Amino acid sequence: MSKAVRDYIRTIVDFPHEGILFRDVTTLFADPRGFRMCVDQMLHPYAGLDIDKVVGLEARGFILGGAIAHQLGTGFVPVRKKGKLPGTTISQDYKLEYGEAIVEIHDDALRQGEKVLLVDDLLATGGTAAAGISLIQRLGAEIVGCAFIVDLPELGGRKLLEDLNMDVHALCAFEGA
Q: Where are the beta strands (DSSP E) in the chain?
A: 10-13, 21-24, 53-57, 75-81, 89-96, 99-106, 115-123, 142-151, 168-173
* DSSP count for the chain of H helices, then E strands: 5, 9
Q: What's the DSSP call for residue 113?
A: T
Given 97, 142, 154, 162, the catalytic residue: 97
Tell me if residue 60 is catalytic: yes
Tell me if residue 162 is catalytic: no
The amino acid at 26: T
Q: How far apart are CA 101 and CA 175, in angstroms?
A: 25
Active site residues: 60, 97
